[in-house]
């Protein structure tokens, strides 16, 4: 018994890459016991318990062999994202192995599993408002979400996830979201946090004045925290956008057909992270000569991919085909107007510019009496913020 | 946003309150005029015109640089002689505007009922007499309409002059009417123009009428299309109001924007009214919509037996009342 323990300990020492702190014989023994328990539990199909034992073993003795077992255990458990991360970690460690044989075998094993898991990964994207407080802290399952993970589809294990956000002077926010297995992607948009009752969202700090002994000493901020704060980007404030668009619009009723193809200019004013107001005017021809003026408001998703939906009042002023009817025995004069919903499913924003392709809209109006239908299609819209 | 919408509503509502354009019309006289139109006489004219085309020599199409075989079946000389005779039979003096141009030589015939007001103002009625094949609908029906109007109107008096104009070579690119308008000395005196082109065919079956994008066209081909531009919108309104008052036929009235020259309205630019539009002379085209309804359009099957005599009568009756109204009569 004692001889076998020593043999195992020696073998483990040989298999483990050099670390700054070498494990003791006690560590090796303890780790091996957890490993054995884990393998027994695996045979008994108690996968989750087995994973815990593998994790305990690896925590005590950082052996890449156990890390690969742990990754495989998580994979079997269905925790694809955790398994994926462990395989990547194992590959990085194995890649530094001085033993060429083990380096090749283990990196190849890890790479194969990483490639197999890639398409199965479920992902979760967390977005925050463009004008979110600078100290906004977002957590996923009680773990801080790094700033470079915001707006990025991060692999997560299938199942329920708790997302929470907090900031000084704001009410904390929390939600849970279920993510299904086999490649599902979900989005969680953290809303603008409401100010806490009685709290001011902007705290003006007086300049330090050593000459004033009455000034209260400010709370000490750790240096690394200050550095982190300094690196945080300034919160992006919503900015008005000037844009140009080209497309088609038509108003059709029993009494007239107005519109055509053409283009024009417009301006969009954000009134929050999502909502905005919009006004644009275009010149249309083909059916007549028409000034097409639209005014309304809508919502646009913050971020690079920024689809939008807008409720617009469209007015057509100018000439078009007119038809005489019992209700309209003389050619109907004046502008045609309709209220419609306009969707921009392919709008993208990068920095201060945006572009949108293939927008569409539909609406209804009236020539009093009679129903008028509005059809709109924007081929391309490009714009810049100011 | 709401105020813009309600402004539009208010403007539109105001449009609906426009009064009747027929306040000074001699409706009893116009109703009599319409009642005098005789379908039998008109169909006899159509038959005579069709026969003349059948017997006529065709255009020397080898001289035409168009890659369309249909022009080898175009005739106009015998029909021209027939129109001249019929107008003279109505007691009108016929003059002609001849333009020599080889195979595209044209001769436009004109005849007038002088207006009693002697103010020089003119109501013009026109139709092209050239035809492909026998051309029963296109355009013997239109010429017959003009001849019937000449017969009925020439025995009455009107304030304004009524001028009948028989155009030539419409089928080769609206040649005769362009030349006529180009040489017209009293453009400003013309208060209304009516051009007949294909006015005798109906198809009352569902689906008998082809549609056109942007036009609310009925499904059945049983209406008379009245084509106007902004310049002639008032004439279109008058026709609509008269028809509502007299209950003559089923109408489809379209007003093209501006001069009518827009890409979507190119199908409204296919007859002798176009030179008038381009010269800012108010003009209407009356039509059964030609190939949007008639499968015999520009085919050898465009024969008299395919026509609807009652529809032709209604068309002429509608036109008689409108022309009489614009001419300030009958007295």
The answer to whether residue A231 scores a pLDDT higher than 70 is: no
A-B C-beta contacts closer than 8 Å: 110
What are the DSSP calls for A88-121, one per residue? Answer: HHHHHHHTT-S-HHHHHHHHHHHHHHHHHHGGG-
Query: Across-strand partners of A356?
Result: A347, A381
Distance between A173 CA and the closest CA of chain B, angstroms:
35
3-state secondary structure of B165: strand
The answer to whether residue A209 scores a pLDDT higher than 80 is: no
Distance between B247 CA and the closest CA of chain A, angstroms:
13
Q: How far apart are CA B307 and CA B303, in angstroms?
A: 8
Peptide bond before residue A106 is cis, with ω within 30 degrees of 0: no
Kindly list the residues from chain B whose CB atom is less than 8 angstroms away from the CB atom of residue A286: 262-264
The H-or-E segment that residue A43 falls in is: helix A25-43
Question: What is the interface pTM, i.e. ipTM, of the complex?
Answer: 0.88
- Cβ neighbours around B169 below 10 Å, total: 26
Which of B12, B251, B258 is opposite residue A334, by nearest beta carbon?
A: B12
Check A335 against B16: CB less than 8 A apart: no
Note whether B36 and B327 are within 8 A (CB).
Answer: no
Query: Across-strand partners of A373?
Result: A252, A364
Note whether B191 and B123 are within 8 A (CB).
Answer: yes
Q: What is the pLDDT of residue A229?
A: 45
Check B240 against A329: CB less than 8 A apart: yes
Of B295, B273, B272, B322, nearest to B221 by C-alpha is: B295
Q: How far apart are CA A187 and CA B272, in angstroms?
A: 64
Query: Across-strand partners of B99?
Result: B106
The answer to whether residue A232 scores a pLDDT higher than 80 is: no
Q: How far apart are CA A136 and CA A147, in angstroms?
A: 10
Distance between A386 CA and the closest CA of chain B, angstroms:
24
Q: How far apart are CA B108 and CA B95, in angstroms?
A: 8
Which of A289, A329, A334 is opposite residue B8, by nearest beta carbon?
A: A334
Q: What is the pLDDT of residue A19?
A: 43
Check A321 against B16: CB less than 8 A apart: no
Q: What is the pLDDT of residue A244?
A: 96
B positions 229-268 inside 8 Å of A (CB): 230, 233, 236-237, 240-241, 244, 251-258, 262-265
Q: What is the pLDDT of residue A238?
A: 59
- For residue A100, what pLDDT band results from cuts at 50, 70 and 90? confident
Kindly list the residues from chain A whose CB atom is less than 8 angstroms away from the CB atom of residue B244: 326, 329
Nearest CA in chain A to B5: A337
Note whether B90 and B154 are within 8 A (CB).
Answer: yes
The class that CATH gives domain A122-189 is mainly beta
What are the DSSP calls for B222-269, one per residue? Answer: -SEEEEEEGGGHHHHHHHHHHHHHH----EEEEEESTTS--GGGGGG-
- How much is the mean pLDDT over chain A? 83
Q: How far apart are CA A120 and CA A112, in angstroms?
A: 14
Q: Which ranges constitute the DSSP H helices of chain B?
A: 2-15, 27-35, 39-55, 77-89, 142-153, 175-182, 233-246, 274-278, 309-326
Structure tokens given for A125: 């994207």
- Cβ neighbours around B119 below 10 Å, total: 12
B65-108 pLDDT tens trace: 766 778 889 999 999 999 999 999 999 999 999 999 988 999 99
What are the DSSP calls for A47-87, one per residue? Answer: HHHHHHHHHHHHHHS--HHHHHHHHHHHHHHT-HHHHHHHH
The H-or-E segment that residue A154 falls in is: strand A153-156
Q: What is the pLDDT of residue B21?
A: 66
Locate tokens 């005798």: which residue? B200
Which of A322, A331, A368 is opposite residue B12, by nearest beta carbon?
A: A368
Tell whether the torsion through CA atoms of B248, B285, B152 and B237 is positive or negative.
Answer: positive
* Sheet containing A143-144: order of strands: A143-144, A137-140, A159-166, A173-179
B266-290 pLDDT tens trace: 899 999 999 999 999 999 999 999 9
Of residues B246 and A4, more confidently modeled: B246
- The architecture of the domain spanning A2-120 is Alpha Horseshoe (1.25)
Which of B12, B215, B241 is opposite residue A321, by nearest beta carbon?
A: B215
Q: Which of B224, B246, B262, B289 to mutate to test the interface with A (most CBs of A within 10 A)?
A: B262
Q: How far apart are CA B45 and CA B181, in angstroms?
A: 26
Structure tokens given for B136: 């029963």
Q: What is the pTM of this model?
A: 0.66
- For residue A18, what pLDDT band results from cuts at 50, 70 and 90? very low
Q: What is the pLDDT of residue A373?
A: 94
Query: Across-strand partners of A278?
Result: A268, A296
Q: What is the pLDDT of residue B19?
A: 44
In chain B, which stretches have pLDDT less than 50? 1-19
Distance between A282 CA and the closest CA of chain B, angstroms:
16
Of B106, B105, B107, B102, nearest to B63 by C-alpha is: B102
B89 touches chain A (CB under 8 A): no
Which structural domains are found in chain B, ordered by start? 45-326 (3.40.630.10)
A139-193 pLDDT tens trace: 988 889 988 888 888 899 998 899 999 888 888 899 988 888 877 888 898 988 8
**Residue B296 neighbours by CB under 8 Å, 6+ apart:** B136, B137, B201, B302, B303, B306
- pLDDT (mean) for A252-259: 93
Note whether A12 and A28 are within 8 A (CB).
Answer: yes
Nearest CA in chain B to A316: B8
Which of B214, B233, B253 is opposite residue A287, by nearest beta carbon?
A: B214
- For residue A292, what pLDDT band results from cuts at 50, 70 and 90? very high
Tell whether the torsion through CA atoms of B192, B319, B197 and B251 is positive or negative.
Answer: positive
Q: What is the pLDDT of residue A237?
A: 56
Structure tokens given for A84: 């994926």
- For residue A196, what pLDDT band results from cuts at 50, 70 and 90? confident
- The architecture of the domain spanning A241-385 is Beta Barrel (2.40)
Of B263, B239, B265, nearest to B253 by C-alpha is: B239
Measured CA distances, A366 to A154, A343, A371 (Å): 49, 22, 5
A67-94 pLDDT tens trace: 999 999 998 888 999 999 999 999 999 8
Which of A260, A315, A324 is opposite residue B237, by nearest beta carbon?
A: A324
Percentage of residues in chain A having pLDDT higher than 90: 40
Note whether A342 and A361 are within 8 A (CB).
Answer: yes
Q: What is the pLDDT of residue A234?
A: 44
């Amino acid at each position: 018994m004692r001889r076998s323990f020593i043999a195992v300990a020696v073998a483990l020492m040989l298999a483990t890459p050099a670390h700054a702190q070498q494990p003791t014989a006690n560590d090796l023994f303890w780790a091996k016991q957890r490993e054995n328990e884990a393998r027994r539990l695996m045979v008994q199909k108690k996968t989750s318990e087995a994973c815990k034992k593998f994790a305990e073993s690896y925590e005590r003795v950082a052996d890449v062999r156990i890390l690969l077992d742990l990754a495989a255990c998580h994979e079997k458990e269905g925790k694809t994202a955790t398994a994926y991360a462990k395989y990547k970690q194992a590959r990085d460690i194995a890649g530094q192995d001085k033993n060429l044989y083990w380096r090749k075998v283990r990196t190849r094993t890890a790479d194969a599993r990483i490639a197999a898991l890639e398409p199965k990964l479920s992902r979760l994207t967390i977005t925050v408002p463009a004008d979110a407080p600078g100290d906004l802290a977002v957590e996923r399952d009680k773990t801080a979400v790094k700033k470079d993970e915001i707006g990025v589809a991060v692999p997560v294990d299938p199942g329920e996830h708790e997302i929470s956000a907090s900031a000084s002077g704001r009410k904390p926010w929390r939600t849970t979201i279920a993510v299904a297995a086999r490649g599902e992607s979900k989005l969680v948009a953290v809303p603008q946090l409401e100010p806490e009752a009685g709290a001011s969202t902007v705290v003006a700090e007086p300049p330090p004045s050593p000459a004033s002994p009455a000034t209260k000493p400010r709370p000490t901020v750790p240096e690394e925290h200050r550095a982190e704060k300094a690196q945080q980007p300034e919160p992006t404030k919503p900015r008005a956008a000037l844009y140009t668009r080209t497309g088609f619009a038509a108003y059709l009723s029993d009494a007239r057909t107005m519109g055509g193809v053409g283009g024009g200019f417009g301006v969009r004013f954000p009134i929050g992270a999502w909502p905005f107001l919009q006004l644009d005017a275009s010149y249309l021809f083909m059916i007549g000569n028409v000034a097409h003026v639209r005014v309304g408001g809508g919502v646009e998703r913050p971020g690079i991919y920024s689809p939008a939906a807008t409720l617009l009042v469209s007015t057509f002023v100018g000439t078009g085909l007119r038809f005489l009817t019992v209700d309209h025995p003389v050619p109907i004069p004046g502008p045609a107007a309709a209220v419609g919903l306009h969707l921009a499913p392919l709008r993208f924003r990068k920095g201060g510019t945006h572009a949108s392709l293939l927008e569409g809209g539909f609406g209804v109006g009236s020539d009093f009496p009679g129903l008028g239908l509005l059809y709109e299609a924007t081929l391309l819209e490009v714009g810049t913020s100011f | 946003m709401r105020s813009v919408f309600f402004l539009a509503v208010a403007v539109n509502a105001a449009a609906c309150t426009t009064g009747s354009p027929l306040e000074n019309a001699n409706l009893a006289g116009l109703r009599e005029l319409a009642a005098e139109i005789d379908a039998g006489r008109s169909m006899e004219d159509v038959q005579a015109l069709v026969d003349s085309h059948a017997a006529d020599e065709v255009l020397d199409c080898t001289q035409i640089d168009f890659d369309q075989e249909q022009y080898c079946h175009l005739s106009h000389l015998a029909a021209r002689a027939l129109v001249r005779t019929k107008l003279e039979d109505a007691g009108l003096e016929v003059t002609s505007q001849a333009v020599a141009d080889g195979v595209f030589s044209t001769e436009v015939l004109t005849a007038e009922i002088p207006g009693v007001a002697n103010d020089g103002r003119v109501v013009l009625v026109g139709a092209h007499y050239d035809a492909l094949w026998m051309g029963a609908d296109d355009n013997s029906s239109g010429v017959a309409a003009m001849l019937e109007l000449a017969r009925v109107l020439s025995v009455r008096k009107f304030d304004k002059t009524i001028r009948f104009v028989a155009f030539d070579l419409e089928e080769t690119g609206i040649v005769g009417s362009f030349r006529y308008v180009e040489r017209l000395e009293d453009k400003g005196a013309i208060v209304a123009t009516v051009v007949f082109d294909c006015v005798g065919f109906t198809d009352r079956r569902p689906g008998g009428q082809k549609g056109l994008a942007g036009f609310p066209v009925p499904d059945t081909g049983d209406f008379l299309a009245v084509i106007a531009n902004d310049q002639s919108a008032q004439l279109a309104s008058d026709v609509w109001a008269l028809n509502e008052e007299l209950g003559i036929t089923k109408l489809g009235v379209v007003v093209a924007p501006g001069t009518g020259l827009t890409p979507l309205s190119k199908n409204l630019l296919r007859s002798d009214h176009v030179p008038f539009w381009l010269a800012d002379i108010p003009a209407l085209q009356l039509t059964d919509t030609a190939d949007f309804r008639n499968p015999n359009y520009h085919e050898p099957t465009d024969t008299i037996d395919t026509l609807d005599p009652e529809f032709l009568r209604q068309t002429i009756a509608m036109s008689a009342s409108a022309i009489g109204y614009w001419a300030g009569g009958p007295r």
